[in-house]
Amino acid sequence: MSSPYKHQLMFSPERYTLMQEANKHPELVKDLIESNRSPDDWGGTVGDIAAYCHIGMEGDYMPHELDKLCAELYFILRKYRQEMEKIYIGGVANDTDKST
């Protein structure tokens, strides 16, 4: 029996996980909203995320190349978030230690 859905997978797992991680970065989300890109401009959105990660993009990319880049950007964003959490948590802990 065939599926009633013609396109079961609209986004690759790499794109999906990248956007899940991107949503955990308020400044990036603000930049993406302010860019006012069309939802169809996925390459532009990836370019904006890459710029946030200090990675330059040039030229045209095939979908499988964008997927590979999405995976790399996901790990960079996750690392940024983890580093910021360490700084924030460490800073709070240090402030508490100094007051005792």
Domain-by-domain residue ranges, the chain? 14-95
Euclidean distance between CA atoms 4 and 21, whole angstroms: 30
Query: What is the structure's pLDDT at 9?
Result: 56
Q: Taking 50 as the threshold, does the pLDDT of residue 69 lie above it?
A: yes
Euclidean distance between CA atoms 78 and 85, whole angstroms: 11
Query: What is the structure's pLDDT at 79?
Result: 95
Joined together, the tokens standing for residue 44 give 């532009």
The model's pTM is 0.76
Instruction: Write the pLDDT tens digit of every residue in 28-43.
Output: 999 999 999 988 888 8
Distances (CA, A) of 49 to 30, 82, 83, 87, 90: 11, 17, 18, 22, 27
Closest by Cα among 9, 31, 42 to 77: 31
